């Protein structure tokens, strides 16, 4: 029962994403598995990630939308809210998740996180220290990683 709810919901979300594409992000299922998707987020203009193309691995639980998807970067990124495995510290994926949330909202929240890192959802303390204490150095390193891994 729960799986059929997840499948119906994901089919609707995919249709909505297809009908109303965003310039900043997109996502779709991989092959025949409606629960496994790949997402793409464009580096926001004016950020050190500008011009980068960042890929995401997205896995939906059978209980979606009651439980959030697991989303992580498959492209390496220098960001205080992303650990070296690509896991993302973002409240919409944990404490702020609600069944009314959509993948489109998650993707836009990730775009916002790239433009404006959160000091509350730190997953890499070393990068967070650079971000908080030496913003020019942070921006330079984030730009280097973007050029090396996302362009």
62-75 pLDDT, tens digit each: 999 999 999 999 99
> Tell me, what's the pLDDT at 1?
53
pTM of the predicted structure, to 2 decimals? 0.93
> Residue 132 has which token pair?
């908080």
For residues 56 and 5, the model is more confident at: 56
Residue at token pair 């702020």: 96
How much of the chain exceeds pLDDT 90, in percent? Answer: 89
Which residues contact residue 97 at a Cβ distance below 8 angstroms, ignoring those fewer than 6 apart? Answer: 67, 68
How large is the average pLDDT for residues 30-58?
95
Q: Are 111 and 27 in contact (CB under 8 A)?
A: no
> What are φ and ψ of residue 19, in 5° steps?
-75, -30
Alpha-carbon distance of 44 to 35, in angstroms, equals 27
Q: How far apart are CA 39 and CA 29, in angstroms?
A: 9
Mean pLDDT, rounded, of the chain: 94
Q: Report the alpha-carbon distance of residue 2 to residue 146 in Å, rounded.
A: 39
The tens digit of pLDDT for each residue in 89-148 reads 999 999 999 999 999 999 999 999 999 998 888 999 999 999 999 999 999 999 999 999
Find all residues with CB under 8 Å of 143, minimum gap 6, and list them.
48, 49
Q: What residues have CB less than 8 Å from 72, skipping those under 6 apart?
A: 56, 57, 85, 86, 87, 88
Nearest to 9 by CA among 61, 68, 65, 71: 65
Structure tokens that stand for 1 in this block: 């029962």
């Amino acid at each position: 029962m729960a799986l059929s709810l997840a499948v119906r919901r994901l089919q609707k979300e995919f249709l909505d994403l297809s009908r109303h594409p965003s310039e900043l992000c997109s996502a779709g299922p991989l092959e025949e598995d409606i629960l496994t998707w790949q997402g793409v987020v464009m580096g926001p203009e004016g950020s050190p990630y500008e011009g980068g193309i960042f890929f995401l691995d997205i896995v939906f639980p059978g209980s979606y939308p009651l439980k959030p998807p697991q989303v992580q970067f498959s492209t390496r990124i220098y960001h205080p809210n992303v650990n070296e495995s690509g896991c993302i510290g973002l409240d919409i994926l944990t404490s702020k998740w609600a069944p009314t949330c959509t993948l489109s909202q998650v993707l836009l929240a990730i775009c916002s996180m790239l433009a404006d890192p959160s000091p509350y959802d730190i997953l890499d303390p070393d990068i967070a220290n650079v971000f908080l204490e030496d913003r020019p150095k942070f921006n330079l390193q984030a730009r280097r990683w973007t050029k090396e891994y996302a362009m």
